[in-house]
C-alpha cells in the first residue's frame, strides 16, 4: 500500500503532463519526451487530445509515442509480440474500404490472437454500420504501419484502443485511460458558480440552460455529486443525466483496469506465496483454455491445474456460465479477463485464490 501511495503522490498532474506534451509536439524535445514516458499511461489521454488537431507527420509522431506508452511495463510476452506485429505495414489494404471492426479484426488476424474479434465497450454501438465508422484506403493514402492505420481510423470518431488481457479493446479515451489528477481544488467562487449552473439546468430561459449545459463539464469530476443531486423538473434531471454520462465517459472508472482485490490485501507469508504464483507466472495457458458457456467452477478447476494453486468459487455462483478466450495468456491475465467480463473479482484467503461477485469481494476486502 505504501508503494501505491507513493505512485499516486508522485504522479504528475494533467497540466504538467500537458506542458510536456505541447513541448514535444512543438519541437520534439527529448527532455519533454522523457517526462512523458515517466508519466506513464495517464499521459496517453493528454497525447490523444493533443493529437486531435494534428495532421500528417505530427499525428504519426504522437501515435508513435502513444504506442510506446500503451505497452509500457508490459510483461505478458504475447502482448509484446502483438505490439511488434503492429509495426508491420498493411500494404495489402490498398484500394479498399473497410469498416473499423473489419480493420481491427484483420490486425488481430495478423497478430498473435488469431481468430479473436475486437471488443467495442462501452458507449460504442457494436453495429458500426449505424455509426458509419469507415476507413478508406486508396492510392492517395500513404499506407502506414498497422497501429497507425488503426489510430487514423478511430481518431475521427473520438474513440481509441488498448490491448488488455489478450483483447483488442475499443472504447472512449476516458474509459480506456484514467484522467491524471487535476492538481487543484475548486475555490469558493468556483463552487458557487457551479451550484448556480446546476440550478440553471431548470432555468426558464433557454440561453441560461444552454450555457449551463456547455459550462458544467468544464468543472470535471467536481460536478458529479451536484449533478446526481439535481432537483427540479423532469427536463432538468434529464439534462443532468446527459451531463453525467459525458463526465463518466471522460472521467469515470476505466474499462478493465489493472487492479483486483488481491492487490490491495495485506497478505500473510502463505497467502503471499499464492499471490506470487498468480502475479509472477510466465507460463502461458494452453490452446484449449477457451471456454464457451462453461460453468465457473469447471473453469476454476482447470485454471487451478494449469496455474499450480487452488482456485475456489462459492457454491452460489458455481454454475455461472463463462465465455472467454484465455489461451496464450498468463494466469493473471486470464483471471483478470474472466472476472472483469463477468462482474467478478478475486482475492487470497487461506493460501487459496477465491473468485466471487464484486459485491461479496468488496465486503471481504474493503476498498
Per domain, the residue ranges of the chain are 12-73, 74-178, 188-251, 261-364
Instruction: Give the whole-angstrom CA distance, residue 87 versus residue 144.
Output: 9
Instruction: Give the whole-angstrom CA distance, residue 175 versus residue 197.
Output: 26
Q: In the block, which residue shows the cell 449505424?
A: 130
CATH of segment(s) 261-364: 3.55.50
| DSSP-derived secondary structure letter, 89 | B
Task: Give the relative orientation of helices 14-27 and 56-70 as an angle to the nearest 10 degrees.
Answer: 130
Helix (H) or strand (E) holding 323: strand 321-325
What is the pLDDT tens value at each position of the chain, 367 positions in all? 333 333 334 456 778 888 999 899 888 899 999 999 999 988 998 899 899 999 888 999 999 999 999 999 887 788 888 999 998 888 777 778 888 888 888 888 877 777 777 887 754 554 555 555 778 887 777 778 999 999 998 898 888 999 999 889 988 888 888 776 565 678 888 899 999 999 999 999 999 999 999 999 888 888 988 999 988 899 999 999 999 988 887 777 788 888 899 999 999 998 999 999 999 867 889 989 999 999 999 999 999 999 999 999 999 999 999 999 898 889 999 999 999 999 999 999 999 999 999 999 999 999 8
How many angstroms separate the first and last alpha carbons of the chain? 12
- The sheet with strand 352-357 has its strands ordered as 311-312, 352-357, 344-349
C-alpha dist (Å) from residue 214 to 190, 217, 225, 239, 361:
16, 7, 18, 11, 39
Helix (H) or strand (E) holding 293: strand 290-295
Helix (H, G, I), strand (E, B) or coil at 352: strand
CB 356: neighbour CB atoms within 10 A? 21
| DSSP-derived secondary structure letter, 254 | P
CA atoms within 13 A on the CB side of 303: 36
Q: In the block, which residue shows the cell 473468485?
A: 355
Q: Is there a contact between 171 and 3 (Cβ–Cβ < 8 Å)?
A: no
Amino acid at each position: 500500500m505504501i508503494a501505491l501511495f507513493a505512485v499516486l503522490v508522485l504522479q504528475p498532474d494533467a497540466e504538467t503532463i500537458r506542458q510536456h506534451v505541447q513541448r514535444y509536439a512543438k519541437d520534439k524535445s527529448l527532455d519533454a519526451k522523457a517526462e512523458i514516458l515517466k508519466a506513464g499511461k495517464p499521459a496517453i489521454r493528454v497525447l490523444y487530445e493533443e493529437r486531435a488537431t494534428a495532421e500528417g507527420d505530427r499525428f504519426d509522431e504522437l501515435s508513435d509515442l502513444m504506442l510506446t506508452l500503451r505497452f509500457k511495463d508490459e510483461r505478458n510476452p504475447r502482448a509484446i509480440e502483438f505490439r511488434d506485429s503492429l509495426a508491420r505495414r498493411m500494404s495489402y489494404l490498398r484500394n479498399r474500404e473497410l469498416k473499423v471492426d473489419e480493420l481491427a479484426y484483420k490486425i488481430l488476424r495478423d497478430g498473435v490472437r488469431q481468430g479473436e474479434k475486437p471488443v467495442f465497450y462501452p458507449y460504442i454501438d457494436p453495429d458500426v454500420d449505424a455509426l458509419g465508422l469507415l476507413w478508406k484506403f486508396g492510392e492517395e493514402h500513404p499506407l502506414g504501419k498497422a497501429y497507425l492505420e488503426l489510430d487514423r481510423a478511430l481518431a475521427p470518431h473520438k474513440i481509441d484502443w488498448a490491448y488488455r488481457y489478450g483483447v483488442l479493446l475499443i472504447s472512449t479515451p476516458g474509459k480506456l485511460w484514467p484522467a491524471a489528477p487535476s492538481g487543484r481544488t475548486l475555490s469558493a467562487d468556483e463552487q458557487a458558480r457551479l451550484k448556480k449552473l446546476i440550478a440553471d439546468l431548470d432555468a426558464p430561459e433557454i440561453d441560461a440552460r444552454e450555457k449551463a449545459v456547455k459550462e458544467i463539464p468544464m468543472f470535471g469530476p467536481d460536478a458529479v455529486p451536484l449533478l446526481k443531486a439535481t432537483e427540479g423538473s423532469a427536463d432538468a434531471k434529464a439534462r443532468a443525466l446527459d451531463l453525467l454520462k459525458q463526465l463518466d465517459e471522460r472521467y469515470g472508472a476505466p474499462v478493465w483496469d489493472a487492479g483486483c482485490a488481491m492487490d490491495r490485501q495485506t497478505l500473510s507469508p502463505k497467502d503471499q506465496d499464492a499471490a506470487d504464483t498468480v502475479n509472477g507466472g510466465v507460463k502461458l495457458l494452453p490452446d484449449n483454455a477457451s471456454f464457451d458457456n462453461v460453468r465457473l467452477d469447471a473453469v476454476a478447476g482447470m485454471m487451478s491445474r494449469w496455474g499450480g494453486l487452488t482456485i475456489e468459487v462459492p457454491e452460489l455462483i458455481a454454475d455461472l456460465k463463462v465465455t472467454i478466450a484465455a489461451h496464450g495468456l498468463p494466469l493473471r491475465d486470464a483471471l483478470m479477463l474472466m472476472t472483469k467480463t463477468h462482474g467478478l473479482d478475486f482475492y487470497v484467503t487461506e493460501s487459496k485464490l477465491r473468485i466471487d461477485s464484486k459485491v461479496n469481494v468488496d465486503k471481504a476486502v474493503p476498498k
